[in-house]
Amino acid sequence: MQRAYPLRDLASMVNAQLIGAVSPISVEHLAIDSRKPLDPANTLFFALPGDRHDGHTYIPELIERGVKAFVVSHAPAPDLQERACFLVVPDPLGALQRIAALHREGSTIPVIGITGSNGKTIVKEWLYQMLRSEEHIVRSPGSWNSQVGVPLSVWEMDGSHTLGIFEAGISKRGEMELLAPIIAPTIGVLTTIGPAHGEGFADDVDKTREKCALFKSAQAVVCCTDQPVVRDAMAELHPPVLRNWSRTGEAFVQVLNEQVLTNATELVVLHNGSQHRFMVPFTDRASVDNAITCITVLMHLQKEPSWINDRLQSLEPVEMRLRTMEGLHGSTLIDDSYSNDLASLGIALEHQARIAHGRQRIVVIGDIAESALEPAKLYANVASQLTLAGVDQLFAVGPRISAQRAAFPVTTQFFKNTNDLLRDVDPAVFGGAVVLVKGARSLHLESAVQRWQHQVHGTELEIDLEAIRTNLNFYRTLLSSPLLGRGAGGEAFPRVRIMAMVKAFGYGSGAVELARLFAHERVDYLGVAYADEGIELRQRGIDLPILVMNPEPVPHETLHRSDLEAELYDQVSLHEAIDFARTLRKPLRVHLKLDTGMHRLGFMESELPALLSELKDAPLKIMSIFSHLAASEDPQQDAFTKQQIARFASMCDAIDEVLGYRPLRHIANSAGISRFPEAHFDMVRLGIGLHGIGNTPAESAQLVPTATLRTVIAQIKGIPTGDSVGYGRQATVKNPTRIAILPIGYADGFSRRLGNGQGRVWIAGKEARTIGNICMDMCMVDVTDIPCRSGEEVIIFNREHGLAEYAKDLGTIPYEALTSIAQRVKRVYVKG
C-alpha cells in the first residue's frame, strides 16, 4: 500500500482544478495547521476555512517555508500561483476526507473502528497496549476522532501495518456518514452511551443510531447490550456478527461475577460454555467496563484467555495529557514519561514546538516498548521525526535505542538506563531550554522529571491549557465581525480582536505559559497590570503586543525599551508620554483610558476638551481607546451599563475626529462579551471567562473548568476524645477522631477563613471538612469515615468540585480565590 501519491493523481481523485506552478511533487504528508513542523517538499496543505481562522491566510508564510502544494477553495493571487501549485475545489475539508477514504480503499488489513460517548480513547489505547507486540499497528494519535482528525489518522496507514485502530467522535447528525468510509472498519466497537456531546441529537436513541452508522459495512460489532438503546440499535443494524458482552443476560462474553479487591477487580466470565477468570488492574466501574470491551474484542480475535489475562496485568492508565512545568536553570519541562510510541511521539514534539517560541529544544527519549516493527526501521522512523521537528539536542536512554545509535545524529548522547542519565547529565545544560522527557514507564524516566523540576512542593495547581483554548474559542464564537474602520497605520479591522488578560500572574495560573498559549492561538493583545509583568513576558520571548494597564512610577523609557504600551489616564500621564515621545524619531505607541462611570482611572467626559486640545499635535500613536464596565454582569444595572457604552462611543468619536484615524476601541470584559454584543467594538478583553467562570450558570456550563488544586496526605493519626487539634485549641473532638494532615496552609493561599469546618477537601471522592485553625503551611481534615492512607491525593477544587464552590466557602469571588494561590505552589500545565 502506497503513502506517496503524485500530486496529479490526488487532483484527479477530488476532481480539482490544477493551477499555478505545477511540478512533479510526490505527496507523503497531509497538513492543515501551519504552526506545526512540516516536511515542505512532500506536504500537501489543505487551506480549511473556519469560524476563527482561514487556512488561506497562511499560504504566503508556508510558501516561504518551502511548501509547494495546496488545496484551496478559490484561486490565490497571481504572484502566489507563480511560486506553488494549487488544487482548487469547492470544499477543501471534503477533499481531505475523500483522499483519506480512497487511501483507505487501498488497504486490506483489518481495521477496528471505535465510537461511543465515553471510553473511546481508553479502549483504543488498551487494545494497542495488548496487541502491539504481535501487530504493527497504526492508530489515531491522542483523541484525533473529529472530521479532520480521522482522515489525518487514516492517512498514516502504509504497507507495513498489519492492524488499524481508529476512533470516531461526532457531535451532530450526519457527521458519521462522512467518517464511516474513511475508517471502513472490519470490526466495530461501541463503547458506553452517555450524555456527552448530546446537544446535536434528539435523544439517546437518535445519538446511538447515528454512531452506529460507522458499522454499516463492518463484519462484526462489539458492544455491551445492557443498555436498551444499544440493544435496539443492534437489532436495527443487524450486523453479520454480534460480539456482545453483558452483566444481565446471555452474551458472547457474559459477566457472571466481579469482585473488587484492593487494587484490582476479579472477573468471572462465561464464553462458549466455559468459565474464565480475568484480573483487571483497576477498581473503578468505567475502567472495568472498558477492560471487558477489550476482552470481548480479543475473544473475537480468538486470543486465548490465558494470553488475554497476561496482557491485562500490564495495562497502564491512559495518560493522554502532557504535563508542563518549570524546570531548573530557567528551563521548561514537558513530562511525557508514561508512554512511548511513534504516534504519541509526534504529538509530544508538536507540543514542544508550540511552547518553545524560539528557545532551544532538547529531547530525552527512551526505548519504545513492544513494537512489532523491525528495530532498525523503528528507530530510523524515530530519528526522522526528531529531525523533522528540529530538535537541537537529544539524550537517548535504554539498551534498544542505544543499539541503533547509527540512526541518530553524532551529537546524541546515549545512556544504558535512567540512573546513568541522572548521574552523568548536569541539568545546567538545560538552561533556558524546553526539555521533553519521553519514555515508557518501564524506564522510570519520571524520576528524571522529579529531579529536574524547579519546585517539589507536594501541593500543585494544575492548569489545563486545552480547556483554556476551548474557552477562548467559545468566546470567539460570540464575537461579531463587522468591518469597523482603519487604524493608525491604515490597516483594516476585519474582525473583533481579543486581548487576553494575563495580569496577576495570569489569574494565578502562570502568565508566561498562558501567554505562550495565546500567542499560538493568535490572540491579538495581552493585558498586564504592571510593567514588571510585561517585562518578564518579553524576557521569556513573548512578542505579542502588551498593554500595561495600571499606573506606577516607571519611566516611559523603561516601557519603550521592552516594547510595552502604556495607558494614559490623566493630564500628568499624558504630558509624561508627550515629553518622552519628543525624544524619539517616531510616534510613541500608547492607549487612552476613559472614565465612563467606573470612577477609577481615566479621562472623564468633562475633561475631554482639554484632552482633545493636547492630542492635536501630540507625537503619539493612539493604539486603542478603552474603558471599564462597572457592572456588566448584573442585569439590574443594565441601564447604567448601556449609558456607559453610549458615553464611550460618543467620547471615542470625538477623539477620532481630532486624530484623523480610528484607534481600536474596547470596553467589554468577559461578562460584557456575552451580555452586550453592542459593546464588542473593535476588541474585547477576556479574563476570568478564559478560566471557565461564566457570567451565569448556563454560560459556565458551556465553558470548561481549567484549574485543579491538589495536595497529598502527609500523615494520618487518631485523636482521642477530649483532645484538641491545631493552634488556639479551637477544635476539641467529642469522639475518637481520625485526622489527615495536609501540606497546604494559608501561605499557599488556603485561607484561615476555611478553618474549623468552613473549608473542605475531597479524598477518594468523599468530602472531608477542616478541623481546627488553618496553619501557615499545613491544615488538618477529619477523615474518620474515609478510608485513606498517607501519600493519597487530596483535591481542593477541580472540575467536579469547582472553583466557584471553593470561592463560596471562602466568602469571596472566583477572581480572588484563584489569584490568591501563592506562587510557591507548583504550577503544572497539561495539554488534554
d(CA 61, CA 67): 9
Rg (CA), the chain: 29
Burial zone of 48 (CB within 10 Å; 0-12 exposed, 13-18 middle, 19+ buried): buried
d(CA 799, CA 293): 27
Q: Measuring CA to CA, which residue among 432, 422, 428 is closest to residue 364?
A: 422
Write the DSSP assignment of 634-676 as a string of letters: -GGGHHHHHHHHHHHHHHHHHHHHHHTS--EEE---HHHHHH-
In this structure, what C-alpha cell is assigned to residue 379?
Answer: 528507530
Say if CB 776 and CB 745 are below 8 A apart.
Answer: yes
CA 64 to chain centre: 29
Residue 245's contacts (CB-CB under 8 Å, 6 or more residues apart) are 222, 223, 224, 225, 251, 252, 253, 254, 255, 269, 292, 293, 295, 296
Q: What DSSP character marks residue 478? A: H
d(CA 515, CA 541): 10
Q: Measuring CA to CA, which residue among 438, 436, 463, 456 is closest to residue 355?
A: 436
Whether 829 is catalytic is no
CB atoms within 10 A of CB 780: 24
Say if CB 319 and CB 348 are below 8 A apart.
Answer: no
- Element housing 564 (H / E): none
Burial zone of 741 (CB within 10 Å; 0-12 exposed, 13-18 middle, 19+ buried): middle
CB atoms within 10 A of CB 537: 25
Question: In Å, what is the CA distance from 291 to each residue of 115, 254, 279, 295, 591?
Answer: 15, 13, 10, 6, 58
- Cite the DSSP H helix spans in 462-561: 465-478, 503-507, 511-520, 531-539, 556-561
Single-letter amino acid code for the residue at 129:
Q
Say if CB 760 and CB 809 are below 8 A apart.
Answer: yes
Residue 588's contacts (CB-CB under 8 Å, 6 or more residues apart) are 556, 560, 577, 580, 581, 619, 620, 621
3 state SS for 167-205? ECCCCCCCHHHHHHHHHCCCEEEECECCCCCCCCCCCHH
d(CA 684, CA 664): 10
Q: Which of 68, 211, 503, 831 is catalytic?
A: 503
Residue 423's contacts (CB-CB under 8 Å, 6 or more residues apart) are none
Residues in a beta bridge with 737? 719
Whether 831 is catalytic is no
Question: In Å, what is the CA distance from 517 to each residue of 65, 364, 502, 512?
Answer: 22, 23, 11, 9
Q: Measuring CA to CA, which residue among 526, 473, 474, 475 is closest to residue 504?
A: 526
d(CA 697, CA 813): 14
Ramachandran sector of residue 791 (left: φ over 0; alpha: ψ -120 to 50; beta: rest): left
What's phi and psi for 729, nearest 5 deg?
Answer: 50, 45
d(CA 264, CA 267): 10
d(CA 677, CA 80): 38
Active-site residue list = 503, 727
